[in-house]
Amino acid sequence: MTDKPDLIYLDYAATTPVDPRVVATMSGLLELAGDFANPSAVHLAGRRSSAHVANAAEQLAALLHVQPDRLIWTSGATESNNLAIIGAARARQHRGQHLITMPTEHKAVTDVFRALERQGFDVTWLLPDERGALDIDALEAAFRDDTQLVSIMHVNNETGLIQDIARIGESCRRRDVLFHVDAAQSVGKLPIDLGQLPVDLASMTAHKLYGPKGIGGLYIADRSGCHIEPLMFGGGQQRRLRPGTLAVHLIAGFGRAAEIAGTSLVEDLEHLTSLRDQLWAGICDVPGVRLNGDIDNSFPGILNASVADIEGESLLLALEPLCVATGSACNSQNQEPSYVLRALGRSDAEVQSAIRFSFGRQTRHEDIVVAIRRYRSAVSKLRDLAPVLAA
């Protein structure tokens, strides 16, 4: 087996390493000597496992400022998005079948709405402005008497842009329209008070906040008319909304990750902001560079930039050993150009050359120094090669 190269990981928007404190919490829940039992069991071992689930719900609820009984455990944000959107659409379809979203949502949202369109639902796709933001006036104009659900993500996974979910939610509440938020990129990273925000359904996942893969959550507000239908059946777990044996070790890991995020939120944001500003200051004067998004209204853990006359895949390879992305993680392997940047009005060349840098707790300022040097060098070398390749 060959030695691993000295990688510099700048793809935290795709996934994060599991915090060692989270690993320690999970490791004690897998073997006979630990609390490994099925939490549905009524015997002592089952009750011990159930206690870990309840504790994790308390930890995640504290981060979100909600009651623990408003949370449903899922396998991740993709399942949470499916459960929320399809579940709500079906539960309210007797009142109307009009839904609203944006083409810049994650695939785990856009593909769900396209599936609902094939089932007879009517979806309005609201275009963003050039920064990626939703125009509230356009949303207001899109509402109809039969509108039942709006789904808008909090932090865009490609550009980091933050949507004004408070204003969007207020518009929905005035019309008794359910508001779903894909909060996979914001839970544990930005202050979120779901107890105060006019949000009815919120999807989240552990692996974006230094927890394990394979576990997520769905928040369901406690208010009249906020109901969803289950997508799976079999067993009475979780109020029959998401049945199945609970993965105690993953849930406990999610809870611990949420607890850690709550105590380090301010420090994390300060660190990420300094890294983002350092990187942008180091590459913004590269000829032809253009920021994708809005640096004044974005999550500082993500910076997306295009550069003229450069092909993205070649740039990605030239940047190694930097681990960065050319688009969202779910699109990177099929080499599709970013549909998010296309929706922002970027040209084909700008879309093809886009690189997403994303940072985390373990990212060092020394890593950014290397990233700046590698980016500038890669762009220069590829431009020198371009005339040769064209010939």
pLDDT in tens, 250-266: 999 999 999 999 999 99
Has residue 1 got a pLDDT over 80? Answer: no
Q: What is the pLDDT of residue 387?
A: 56
pTM of the model: 0.94
Average pLDDT, the chain: 93
Q: Say if residues 10 and 323 touch (Cβ distance below 8 Å).
A: yes
SS3 at position 305:
strand
Please return the burial class of 182, using the count of CB atoms within 10 Å of its CB with bins 0-12, 13-18 and 19+: buried
CATH architecture of 20-260: 3-Layer(aba) Sandwich (3.40)
CA distance 249 to 139: 41
Please return the burial class of 36, using the count of CB atoms within 10 Å of its CB with bins 0-12, 13-18 and 19+: middle
How confident is the model over 106-124, as pLDDT tens digits? 999 999 999 999 999 999 9
Q: What is the pLDDT of residue 390?
A: 40
Q: What is the pLDDT of residue 236?
A: 85
- Which member of 172, 284, 323, 330 is catalytic? 330
CA distance 276 to 187: 19
Q: What is the pLDDT of residue 389?
A: 42
Q: What is the pLDDT of residue 341?
A: 83
226 annotated active-site: no
Categorize the per-residue pLDDT at 54 as very low, low, confident or very high, splitting at 50, 70 and 90: very high
How confident is the model over 357-391, as pLDDT tens digits? 999 999 999 999 999 999 999 999 999 886 544 43
Query: Topology of 8-15+265-390 in CATH?
Result: Aspartate Aminotransferase, domain 1 (3.90.1150)
- Indicate the helix (H) or strand (E) that contains 277: helix 248-283
How confident is the model over 230-249, as pLDDT tens digits? 999 998 899 999 999 999 99
Question: Cα separations (Å) of 232 from 78, 81, 156, 206, 225?
Answer: 14, 14, 28, 21, 21
Domain 8-15+265-390 identical in fold to domain 20-260: no
Beta bridge mates, 306: 290
The more confident residue out of 316 and 345 is 316
Has residue 301 got a pLDDT over 60? Answer: yes
Q: What ranges do the domains of the chain cover? A: 8-15+265-390, 20-260
Question: Cα separations (Å) of 141 from 104, 135, 136, 171?
Answer: 19, 10, 9, 11
